[in-house]
Amino acid sequence: MKREDRLNFIAQFIRENEIKTQEELVNTLLTHGIDVTQATVSRDIKSLALIKVPAESGGYRYDLPKNKEVLQSSLHKALAFDAITGVKMKDNMLWILANPGTTSLVKNYLLEEYSDDIFSSVYSHYNEVIERTNSIIDKSAILNIVEEIKKANKIYLYGVGSSGLTATEMMQRLIRMGFNVHCISDSHMMIINSSIASSEDLVIGLSISGETKEVVNALKVSKRNGAKTACITSFDESSITVYSDIILKVYNTRFIGRHKFINSQFSTMYLLDLISTVLLEDKNLEEKMQITIDAIINS
């Protein structure tokens, strides 16, 4: 008999009959042709969360939890743990092995049982990223980049992959403040654009590693052409910093071992919020931002 069926049988029998001891329950199951041991029944009693209540004949008997949710949770837990065949570690990940056809059962139980821990874990790690980024951010560098943004004729943002998406977000923010901004994530366009960058332009390269070849080369060419250059990276001795007049350092989420779960651009977005906030202290830029907001609302 499958464990699920055995547990259901015990629950039904306990509900309709008076069973006072574990030994009595073992004998009852054997009498009904259900092959069990004392250890098996002991585990089943825990799985069903059976309680002892006063018996009509005196003494105490087993009974089911009064709360149906407790019973269902106990059954769910018992079946889920019965389905797990092993666990192993691989690439900083815990792999749970389960019997074929039971993965959904195990997944649902783990989410139900540990969802609060999961949410708390993500929350704490995001907080850690912000705190550590805040501790390494150079405030003078932020003020410098704000001044360069304000006086630049054109602003070019270089980034590929997820850094390219962050660059796009930065472009949209600056455009809404009235700046002439271009975001470039295509490697060929970076070559073309950097070759025509001038001393009146500001070029910002985004690369968490600081070693993204396309971005590093584009910043190198831009600097050679006289453009003001800046970079956003997690490594202040990386290749991209060699060609940057202003270095904006952010915390790398990989440092806390959660790179598979935490947004790698989160610290950069925090930096963008800081830059945007400082820029909007300028009443003229704030008014331009409001104009774009009104245009969107009224469109």
pLDDT in tens, 4-23: 888 889 988 988 899 999 99
The answer to whether the beta carbons of residues 215 and 206 sit under 8 Å apart is: yes
What is the C-alpha separation between 132 and 135, in angstroms, rounded?
5
Q: pLDDT value at position 72?
A: 53
Q: Residue 236: what pLDDT?
A: 85
DSSP annotation of 178: T
* Helix H or strand E segment including 103: helix 103-136
pLDDT at 87: 76
CA atoms of 127 and 151, how far apart (whole Å): 34
Which pLDDT does position 70 carry in this prediction?
47
Question: How much is the pLDDT for 43?
Answer: 84
Residues of the chain with pLDDT under 50: 68-71, 258-261
pLDDT, one tens digit per residue, over 200-241 is 999 999 999 999 999 999 999 999 999 999 999 999 889 999
Question: What's the half-sphere exposure (Cβ side, CA atoms, 13 Å) at 167?
Answer: 27
Q: What is the predicted pLDDT for the residue at 75?
A: 56
pLDDT at 265: 83
Amino acid of residue 86: G
Q: What is the pLDDT of residue 242?
A: 96
